[in-house]
Amino acid sequence: MKPLEERSPYAVGLVALAGLAALAVVVVLLSVLSFGTTTYSAVLSQTAGLREGESVQVAGVVVGEVRAVELRDTDVEVRFTVADDIRLGELTTAEVKVATLLGTHYLQVTPRGSGSLADDTIALERTSVPFNLEDVLEQGTDTLGELDAPGLARALESVTGTLRRAGDDVAPALESVGRLADLVAERSEQTGDLLGSVERVSTMLHEDSEDVLALMQQTTLVLDEVTSRREAIRRLLERTTALSRSLAGLVEDTRDDLRPALRDLNTALTALREEDETLQSLLSTLAPAVRYVANAAGNGPWLDLYARPPVLPSDDQRCALGDCG
């Protein structure tokens, strides 16, 4: 194999360009294709602010994202992806929902019906948006038609006359409003930064909604456990109160019987105390005698005894009596 420096630089350049082109094609394919997902379409009467890259949810769980929003003849086609393990039936519906107050949206898909979605497209009659400009105009026209035009004219004339008479007061108010508008214009960048921060916070909360929901569920379990323990403590207090009332009633019912028994018990205790004092005195007196007996029997299993000769005869006297042996 030839070293790289011996090869033609033009050939090396062409191979490098071809490799870069192949890499670019792979990157584009990876960004367009979705692995593990299926691409569907939904026909909307208008976008209602839905943008590419916003999420697709089923039962509140994010299962895909909006890939493209394209304008057709009289309506809008939205292409979106959904995880392969979710089956969309032939009656599946789609609705554009507002995610936050700052204008973010998501496409809510509700699987319905049996079979599969025809042409992988949700028809216009099974889609909806948060508002429809045509419906608003029609309802507004009907409402305006019901207004009392002469009465409205008289009201406007009254307002005009009031403003004319209060011109001196209205002018300072309008000047204050103008200064307020100037102040808002001067602080527009700060207001924009504030709104951007609020949007980021809202997005973060939306992304962490599952964790917040799990935390709320854990909190609910803790509250349920505390409630059950509180109920157990309440039952214990009720039973303790009932027991104390029963004991109080028992004492009240047996008071007449207990009083003589306690009096007799007191008498018995007094007699026992007197006998105890007698026994203590007897033990105190008996102790020296027992000590002397113990001293006398301390040489062996006999007692030392001393008596004068008339009491116990001597050996000579016993021999005289014939008891020498």
Kindly report, residue by residue over 150-193, the tens digit of the pLDDT.
777 778 778 777 767 766 666 677 777 777 777 777 777 777 77
pLDDT at 1 over 70: no
Residue 93 has a pLDDT of 92
The residue assigned the tokens 């007698």 is 278
* pLDDT tens, position by position, 43-76: 888 887 888 889 999 988 888 889 988 888 888 8
Look at 238 and 287; give whichever has higher pLDDT. Answer: 238
Residue 285 has a pLDDT of 78
* pLDDT tens, position by position, 190-248: 777 787 787 888 778 777 777 777 777 888 888 888 888 888 888 888 998 888 888 88
- Spatial separation of the C-alpha atoms in residues 113 and 89, rounded to whole Å: 5
Where do the structural domains in the chain lie, given as residue ranges? 1-33, 36-131, 176-200
**Left (φ > 0), alpha (ψ -120 to 50) or beta: where does 32 sit?**
alpha
Please, what is the average pLDDT of the chain? Answer: 77
